[in-house]
Each structure stands twice: as C-alpha cells, then as structure tokens.
Chain A
Amino acid sequence: MKIAVCVKRVPDTEARIKVAGDGKSIEESGVKFVLNPFDEYAVEESLKLKEQAGGGEIVVISLGTDANQETMRTALAMGADRGILLKTDVAAPDTLAVAKALAAELKEGEYDVVLFGKLAVDDGTHAVGAMVAELMDLPCVSSISKLEVADGKGTAEREIEGGVEIVEFALPAVLTTEKGLNEPRYPALRGIMMAKKKPLETKEVSVEVSGVEVTGLAHPSERQEGRILGEGPDAVPALIDALKNEAKVL
C-alpha cells in the first residue's frame, strides 16, 4: 500500500502569538514550531495501514520553506519512509493554491491513500484535504474518528453534531484525521536516528498568489477582568442575581 501524508509546520499550541511590526504577520522568533497536532493522527494512521497491509511505502509531503524539513523529520522518526518538500517562498499561501500544488504532486505518486490532519492549528481552515480530493476527483471523508480498510474499500466514521456519520468509500481516497482516531506514537530514539538518514527530496514549486489579502492582524480585545463574587456555595445567590439581572443571560 502506498500512502501519502501531507503535513504542516505550525506554532506549538502553547505558544504565545505576537503580531509582527508589519501588522500583517506574526513574530516568529522565540516561537517553537511543531508538526501540526492533527497531522500526528494522520502519520500514525498511515503506519497502522502499512502494518495492516503487510508492507508498502509512506511518503511525507509538505509545502513551505526549508524550515519544514525539521517538521518532516518528526514524521520520518515516527516511521514514515521518505519525504518530499515542495519548496516555495510564498508566505501563507491561500488554501486553494496550496491544494493545487499538493494535488499536482500527489497525481504523480499514484497513492492508494492520501492522509491529512483535519485542520492546521495556525490558520484553522479545515479545507486543503477536501480541496485536493475535488481537484483529483477522488472520494474523500474528512474529520474521521474511526477507519477500517480492506480489499480496496473503506468505512470511516466522522463526528457530526450529536452523532456520527458512517461513510463507505473506494480506494484510492483522501482522508482527513480527527483527534480520537488513534494514539500517535512517540518517536523512539532509534527512529530519530534513522530519520536523519531517510531520503528527503526537495522540489521547487510555484504557488499561485490568491486574491485574498491580509490587511491586518490584531490581538483580540482584552476581556475586562470581571469580579470574584465570593467564596464557596454562599456566593451562589450573588451569581444567580448577576446572571439574571446584570448580564441578563438567565
């Protein structure tokens, strides 16, 4: 089974994000960058699929600058076989432009399964996987929390409001992964050592510049610090009164 896992380099979720001097980007110095948390589920699922199939190849693909190599090595350390960096200098390209560049590469690879994290925790667009599927005319199930694949077919579950959708599909397919699908393994020391020697190819790609323009980034307005109404159960009547008569939400 040949599997592609598309990954993104993002700021750690615990990082404090500061708007840079230009007012249109973020200050990157001092920010720790990691493999997008949702992509970890995609990498883990690819390893499970390969183990289940009794063989195959897992290719990690990422779009961005040379800095992405470190992120890709994390996936290689978890067990992926090789990497392809689609190198571009376009900062924060539009989702459709990213999808087009990835789809062009993925078409070459003839993959049985293409995996993405359901969203990247930086821009949170939740879009690229489904766009790639549309551009490649492949079936796609997004935000999967359970997956079974056998005999060229699959069944996936995806969480919806107050329930779970059961979706059946044929391979090749694009799948995007939700938390809960699996427990991503930690790279072992041996894996980290081996990852340094795994092939990581760089391809220059041109990415369209979209018509969407970021005109400004700002920090959300600080919430006014509220008040402590008291200690213990005795403070409850004051809370009920405030919610009913002041905030008018009860």
Chain B
Amino acid sequence: MDWFYLPLEVSSSFIRDTRAIVTYKFILNENYRLRDQIGKVKSDAAFNEELLRENQRLKKLVSFKEQFQSKAVCARVIAREPGNWSRGVLLNKGANDRINIGDFVLAESALAGRVIEVSARTAKVILINDPESSVAAFIQRSREEGLVSGTLLGGVIMRYLEKDSDCMPGDAVMVSRLDQAAPFPVLIGAIKEVKEEPQGLAKYCVVTPAADLRRIEEVLVVGSRQIP
C-alpha cells in the first residue's frame, strides 16, 4: 500500500517545494511584515502593562490619601540623591502645592521620608534609610518604643530597644504616637533580624522598609500637623 502512495507523496512534496521556491519572495516579505507586527504588539503590550501598573499604584495612593483629613499632596519623584553619603529624592511639587519643610512623605502606604527643603516647584526629601534620618517608632506587637534610623549602605535599623525586649523577626514597626506631628497610624516596615549592641546594653533590629525606597515613583506628602 505504501508503495502505491509513494509517487503521490513525492509529487505532492515536489509541487509544495516548487511553490515555496516560486513564492519565496512573497513569503519572505510576509515574514518581515509579521515580525514587524509581532514587535509592535509586544511593544503595545509592554506599554499597556506599564499603564496598568501605574493605574494600580495611583489607585492605591488615592485610596490611602482619603484617610487623611485635609492636606495630602500626590507628587512624583523626579531625581534621586547623586552621592553615596545620603539617601534622598527630589519631588516635582513644592511650596506652590502647599508642601512645607517637615511634611511626612509616604510611599506604598508606608513612611518613606520627610521633606527637608522646599522651593516653589520642587521639594527635597530625606529618606528613612539616610544615616542622618531618625523617626520615633514602636513595635506593634510588643508596644516597645525605639528610634528608626538609616545606615550608610541603605539599610534601616531600630535602635534603643531594651536588652530584654521580646521583639521578633516579622513584627511590624509603626510610626510612634510620641511624634505629635507624625501621621498615625503609618507603617514603617517589618523586623528582619534582632541583634545586640556591641556593648551588650541594648538591642537593635534590622528593619525591612515596607516601601521599596530604591524604586519609589509616586509619593503622598502629608502635612506634619494634619493628623486624622
């Protein structure tokens, strides 16, 4: 039976190949055209994905903004600190948008930093992982108070905890009520590791900030006296 079909197969494959050779130019052009279309579709998909992500971020920011009674200004990060000695960002809004020195800056619903300098259209923000930054904070589970500050390599630590503190990895760290100007309740991050001070008199924790401080793009600036 196979012998019977063999000539048919050979002839049909010959015709197919001949047609492919004859229409080679057309197929090649079509191939190029389809590749172009695929490239365009891929680029559109990436663009749509970016829009979707931006939309999600902004929705989150707007829903968070509603928690605050009056002043809460949304701003974009337009530049980051150029040097290695500090951690800060530059915002695209300033005094014209009622941003003042000392205002708190929130990103991804968590504390990111504080405004330290304002011009008419821009504001400089010192991030919580800057070595000079310090924020009064407490551990949500054990209610212990401490001071959150940055380290030079961009980490965040919570210092001045008692030696017998029962803080544990995973505990949430919040901005303290003791800071009368700070918005409350605002998350700072979660404890990653608990360590003892070199002198052995106190403990400190390494904190993972809830906001990705290296990649913040949109922030919410909350007035230091606008406590809900």
The answer to whether A and B assemble together is no
Binding site for B on A (CB under 8 A): none
Binding site for A on B (CB under 8 A): none
